[in-house]
Amino acid sequence: MKTRSFKQYFITGLLVWLPMGITVWVLTWLVGLLDGIFLAVLHAADSLIPGMHKLAEALRGVPGLGVILVALVIFATGVFVANMFGQWWLRKWDNLMNRIPVVRTIYTSVKQVADTLFSGSGNAFSKALLVQYPRQGSWTIAFLTGTPGGEVAKHLAQPMVSVYVPTTPNPTSGFFLMMPKADVIELDMSVDDALKYIISMGVVVPGGPDQISSVEASALK
């Protein structure tokens, strides 16, 4: 009886600390990544600009400074391109990138994906869907990304939708599919809840914070 109680209390404590620990780990990784970018820029400036060595050494010892400076640069860039002068420079930059053979392919692809994902008018990941994949009778969650167009649409005999089927537990990789519109089921579920469901491999059922509390309570029974 005591062993069973010990196990239940241990699991309950783990449910409290595990999300916190993973969150801290992800944030630490992100801060380290941004600091690394900042240090690389700082090292380049130290090599090119005379007299920057002392300032560079002083800035290297400030933790989290890279996060602040990268955020400020991104914000300042957004302010700059929000006016006509900034838009003119942005078009010049795009034209320059499009003239470089290898860079053109990578830059254009990434720009189109970024515009689709982050633009307010974009329709990427607009709805959570239920689809049969990888075979009939097996169901999984997918996200609506749009409808086929251009040359592809000419060869499709029925209304189709473009969907993204993420992998578990890493939703950043997945499969792009074009499926008949009649074969997909639109879910009354937000994209955030669907992502949580996928990342947890079906353990976290969409339902909000109350679901976590119910799991912790059941561990004490």
Q: How does pLDDT run across 108-137, given as a tens digit for each residue?
A: 777 766 665 565 544 567 789 999 999 899
pLDDT value, residue 77: 85
Picking from 19-33, 87-101, 141-155, 198-212, which range would have the lowest pLDDT averaged per residue?
Answer: 198-212
pLDDT value, residue 129: 94
Mean pLDDT of all residues in 21-43: 78
Between 74 and 42, the more confident residue is 74
pLDDT value, residue 132: 93
Bridge partner residues of 165 (DSSP): 175
* 37 closest CA partner among 71, 77, 76: 71
Type of residue numbered 59 = L
Between 60 and 128, the more confident residue is 128
Q: How does pLDDT run across 78-105, given as a tens digit for each residue?
A: 888 888 888 888 888 888 888 888 888 8
pLDDT value, residue 38: 75
Bridge partner residues of 164 (DSSP): 143, 176
With a CB cutoff of 8 Å and minimum separation 6, the contacts of 80 are 86, 89
The answer to whether residue 139 scores a pLDDT higher than 90 is: yes
Could you tell me the pLDDT band of residue 3, with boundaries at 50, 70 and 90? Answer: low
**Most confident stretch, 8-22, 119-133, 157-171, 173-187:** 173-187
Could you tell me the pLDDT band of residue 217, with boundaries at 50, 70 and 90? Answer: very low
Picking from 8-12, 35-39, 61-65, 132-136, which range would have the lowest pLDDT averaged per residue?
Answer: 61-65
